[in-house]
Structure 1
Amino acid sequence: MGETATLKRHSSKSSGKQANGSSMANVTSSLEEKLAEKEEREKLVLWRRPIQTLHYFVRECGILFVEYMIKLWNNKRTVLLVSLLIGSYYLVYKTPGPHQLVLQRIEKEFWWCSWWVWLGILSSVGLGTGLHTFLLYLGPHIASVTLAAYSCNSVNFPSPPYPDDIMCPEEDVSQGKDMSILTIMSKVRLEAFMWGAGTALGELPPYFMARGARLSGYDPDDEEMAEFEELQRLKERPEDMSFIDRAKLSVEKLVERVGFFGILACASIPNPLFDLAGITCGHFLVPFWTFFGATLIGKAIIKMHIQKMFVIIAFNESLLARAVGLLAFVPVIGAKLEQPFKTFLEKQKQKFHRKPGTGPTTQDDKNILAWIFEKLILLMIIYFVLSIVNSFAQSYHKRIHKSEREKKLAQD
């Protein structure tokens, strides 16, 4: 929706409430000011206004730091209890004894699970953009385990070095035993579930935002709830709906009418419109555990099993060899594409079968595919960090203009 749609939306919302011309003029003036603020805020990015953006980013970080310090002080009993628990664990961890082996194993599992939960949250929340951590981390991890499982004919990778670096077990593996998809799925079940749980946690902010707005009776301005509000108004004008609007409305109707199972259905498939489902659940005051339970089951169990199966089948040894062979039929560049992929797969197999304690050769590091993938990850992370800086700067811009409007209203 452009500026005209926004003006129409606010004008229709205000019609019936404002009777005289003077009031309408004030409303129009207020709308124009908000639109001007929005345009200015959208220009507040590092590649347009680097100095101002960085300045606002630092100011917003300072405000958020103070706010969170105040929250910690207000909950000092909880903070003290957590600190005592961490201190007690540290003392027990440092005390010599047989229990240290158990604690070290627990610590390793804890950080391993926390890493994947964190990546899932980044993929789902993203502060406006999202870091596609499935494509960058979990998908390649599952693919690597799949290649190793077929190459080693086993999933009993020694730990360490797995999961940091996968090597075939030293004992002989029966060659007559076929590697099954379910066996590989069970090997990556923990990290896949944790990543899915992280994506479910990342869906909570839209839910709480809409729920808080509904309970407080406060009508949020700007882009936070504009999409949801516009969709509600488009229900009365179905002829103005685009295909995307109809898809969004279908998601809303499914969630609103079916409840738990509607949320479960939306969360169980790759769904870029799921943020709208969270806003809808919050707006209609769907109980928290109904929303989060359905989201967790859908994303961490059902959808993750579908995604795992897709990656494992795609990286099946025979299927992958056929796919690489088909690259030769691509006109002009086919032969040039086929050779790097073959080299990459051969070097991966060599890495899986090397002896413990020996690192990868220097030639492995020069593979063009690995180099491209590393640079892709670097670019994605840089873009994600830049988006966070822009988002914080725009949040501070919104904060100061909101404060100015409140001061004007207080003076009037």
Structure 2
Amino acid sequence: MNHYCEFVDDGIKYQPHVFQLPLDYDDCSKGSIEVFARSLTSTSENASDKPWLVYFQGGPGFPSPRQNGHQGWVKRALKDYRVLLLDQRGTGNSSAITHQTIAHLSPQAQAEYLSHFRADNIVRDAEQIRQQFAVEKWAILGQSFGGFCSLTYLSLFPDSLLRSYITGGVPPVTGHPDVVYQATFKRVVEKNHAFFKQFPKAQSLCQSVANHLLETEEYLPNGQRLTVEQFQQLGINFGISNSFLPTYYALENAFIDVNGTHRLRYEFLNRIMMEQSFHTHPIYAILHESIYCQGQASDWSAQRIQETLPQFQYQPNQTFYFTGEMVFPWMFTQYTNLVPLKQAAELLAQKQDWGPLYDIERLQANKVPVSCAVYADDMFVDMDLSRQTLANIPNSAAWITNEYEHNGLRVDGEHILDKLISMGNQLAATID
């Protein structure tokens, strides 16, 4: 039953759109999925003549934002475009994948189903929607993993695009996932050093928590036992702006005395649980490494790289390091909602026949203006790898800045998109 409605809020008209699209574009006999998108147009003017801008969310595995007010990058976008917020397949209202929806399938069936939820099919969904909208060409904006989708779109359907704007999401288009994690682990080390330099006391606080978890059973509010490895994953926050101080405050108040016993505070445990987005967005864990795979298996790339870095393998009373945006096989044993996907995760980690995500020859012949915000201190998407990719894509331009972290579009989206639109216009003038 379609329970979505059209509404107006703060000068923006919101319209829901639902599409029935193939699960597998190469074999329609496998059935269809439902894909949801929401269009945003300004009510202050006639928007029907404006081109479309499609937004690809970061992740993988997260829905498009639920816009609240005439602000941020949407405010800037609506000056020039009609905006389409796409819930990528498997997220939000688009045949959502959770432990609830696929736990009943066999591991083999789970893995086969999940293999259709990468960037190539996300882009094919968007292209089908473009055709159903009867739009000749539209622009795209990709944040983080959404930028990966943007390069896939440029590879598969470049003639459908007016412009491509990318923020914090220019991936390597060749090579093995190991190259990515070797680079990102280095960025994580740098972020650890910066955090502990600013808050020296935090090192002893982290050791206290980690030592306590090795000796004492502590459980999150959902009943899941907390481990050192899970605690280390709080470091994912170091990839976004203004995260150091809140992390220190949390460490400062991690413990409480309960009848003379040293225990972790409920508030601290609840915070950790609330930040474990893998529970509510399992695609983020199960397909994370596959976004770098083309014709090869990831074979738990981050885990293998971490094993060469002893500083991340905590030992009692030794220097503590947080990890970052990596996924590991132990997560499918420890995280309650990932346990039903453990065998499927192993099958996908060993899968070698992943199809191509990028067409190198098409990218090297690119004629679509591609303007990118590349963040110099990005912990999630390595700047050097992004620059290597863009060096081989003509009609692309990078704005390299250390003003923002990976979440720059969320923090100052109006300014960032304005900059990218200006860059795109300049590129277009050159191409013409």
Shorter-chain TM range is under 0.3
Could you say which structure has the greater relative contact order, defined with CA pairs below 8 angstroms and 6 or more residues apart? 1
Larger Cα-atom Rg: 1
- Give the helix-richer structure, 1 or 2: 1
